Structure 1
Amino acid sequence: MKKLLFVLFGIVLVSIGVITLKHSQIVTGGTAGLALNLSYLFHTPFSIFFFLVNIPFYIFSFIRMGWKFTLSTIFSVSLLSILTSFDPLLPSFSVPIWIGTILGGGLIGVGLSILFANGSSLGGANILALFLHKRYNLNPGTTTFVFDFIVVLTSLYSVGLVKGVSSVFSIAVTSVVISYFKNKIAEKHISPAKNKKYVLKRNVAITQ
């Protein structure tokens, strides 16, 4: 139950981050960025594209990451699609581009970190980042940034150069946040082992 609450909280943070970016007219990376880009081009709700572009990644996730992770990811993606679909019902507003860049990127980074730590993701590059981290111990923040950067490059046509640069900065903020929490989680798991080793050595010294 506790893990589910953390996943829900992470999704809420990401949805606020995505809406913030959308009202700043900039994009993010991964399938979320691709869906935002398509929503700008075709004037179609983000939620529809976000759900559709993730379908191929569900198959990869099921094969490589197992059915539990895949179901959790499908749940997260579906809930994010539902939450962001309420955006048109909000009062019309705009967010200054640099505020949106930092705030949106930061919220998405924190939200994704919470999802990663609780065995879930938002599909797409998130699945690949977690798979590469699990298989080859590659930093998920770095992997996410590479994939996100590619997506942002493809969005320059729809958002323009200035907003494209802002989008790159936004995904950099997201990747830094993910890397920071990844290191904190690693330290949390490693530290007890080191302390235990120290206690064992101390006990041996005393008995001798």
Structure 2
Amino acid sequence: MAETTASTTVSANASAPDSGTIDAAQASSKKDDISHRLYEDVLALLLGTMVVSLGVTLYSESVLVTGSTAGAALLIEHATGLSFGLIFFVINLPFYWLAFKRMGVAFTVKTFIAVGLVSGFSKLTPMMVDFQMLNPVYAAIAGGALMGIGLLMLFRHRAGLGGINILALYLQEHFGIRAGYFQLAVDMVILVIAFLTLPFDKVLLSILGAVILNLIIALNHRPGRYFSAR
């Protein structure tokens, strides 16, 4: 899900051939940097993960998928009936060491907490909301938008949802494999599996939701528009 766009945004910076413009913008904007207080980070983690979890619940109830580890977790849930929250939490465990090495302690801790909250909220939300009639088109649009908005909140507070994007950045740094291409390849594999296991209309709606999610991130999380000291 969710993290698909994280890799696109972060990897674009990591692989840009000319980072001078970004560095200059950052240097000239140091005085305008926004330093988040602890309670602001806490609120962002709680609200961001709650919004993401609602989007995931819409996808889960409508048998839709998204990219990266969230998409893999949804596919496993659809195939086995296991809880998305549990699957999502376990799938992300191997990536925290890479997050620590690549992104630092603060990002890793926030991401671990965010993944745990999404796992918990994804389990709790269906108990609080009853979807007796849910239009799949609405679920794709609203779910994609909610996940995009929730991710945007997390990104602006130096947090993420772990997963493939961290591995993609690691492979780019150590083996020269472009992070964006690797992320795209993983998402294509998830999409192919979805084509083989889900109805065709569900796959098309999943693609629609992914486009909406990525547009929200692309239009609202551009380098140079938002700075945070931590």
Structure 1 equivalent of residue 224 of structure 2:
186
Could you tell me how far apart the structure 2 residues matched to 1:143 and 1:116 are?
A: 20
CA distance in 2, matches of 1:153, 1:164: 9
Q: Is the 8 A contact 1:145 1:172 kept in 2?
A: no
Alignment-derived partner of residue 45 in structure 2: 7
Q: CA deviation at 1:148?
A: 3.6
Cα RMSD for the two superposed structures: 2.8
Matched, 1:164 2:203: yes
Q: CA deviation at 1:7?
A: 2.0
- Alignment partner for residue 76 of structure 1, among 80, 96, 114? 114
**1:91 alignment counterpart:** 130
**TM-aligned CA deviation for residue 171 of structure 1:** 0.9
SS at match of 1:186: coil
Once the two structures are superposed, residues 83-134 of structure 1 have per-residue CA deviations (whole angstroms, 9 ceiling, x without a partner) of 11124524352421111111000110111111111110011134357879x9
Q: If each structure's helix is expressed as a fraction of its own residues, which one has the higher value? A: 1
* Residues 21/145 of structure 1: CA separation in 2 closer, same or farther (3 Å cut): farther
Q: For residue 116 of structure 1, what is the aligned residue in structure 2?
A: 155
Contact 1:139 1:179 in 2 (8 A): no
Kept in 2, the 8 Å contact 1:14–1:111? The answer is: yes
TM-score by length of 2: 0.71
Give the unaligned 5+ runs of structure 2.
1-38
SS in 2 for 1:187: coil
Runs of 4+ in 1 over 6 A off after TM superposition: 129-132, 142-146
Check conservation: 2:54, 2:125, Cα contact below 8 A: no
Structure 1 stretch 79-88 or stretch 174-183: which is displaced more? Answer: 79-88
- Residue 155 (structure 1) aligned with residue 194 (structure 2): yes
Of 102, 109, 112 in structure 1, the residue corresponding to residue 141 of structure 2 is: 102
Q: Distance in 2 between matches of 1:178 and 1:19?
A: 20
Once the two structures are superposed, residues 34-53 of structure 1 have per-residue CA deviations (whole angstroms, 9 ceiling, x without a partner) of: 10110110111111110111
> Which has the larger displacement, 155-164 or 11-20?
155-164
CA distance in 1 between counterparts of 2:187 and 2:212 reads: 12
Distance 1:127 1:112 in 2: 15
Secondary structure, in 3 states, of the residue corresponding to 2:132? Answer: coil
CA separation of 1:17/1:129 partners in 2, compared to 1, >3 Å: closer, same or farther?
farther
Shift of 1:144: 6.4
Runs of at least 5 residues in structure 1 that lack an aligned partner in the other structure = 190-208
Q: In the alignment, residue 151 of structure 1 is paired with which amino acid?
A: I
Higher alpha-carbon Rg: 1
Letter in 2 for 1:103: A
Cα deviation for residue 30 of structure 1 reads 1.4
> Does the residue aligned with 2:221 lie in a helix, a strand or coil?
helix
TM-score (norm 1): 0.78
- Counterpart contact for 1:77–1:122, Cα < 8 Å: yes
> Does the C-alpha gap of structure 1 residues 126 and 14 become closer, same or farther in structure 2, counting only changes over 3 Å?
farther
Larger RCO: 1 or 2 (CA < 8 Å, sep 6+): 2
Check the 8 A contact 1:101/1:170 in 2, yes or no: yes
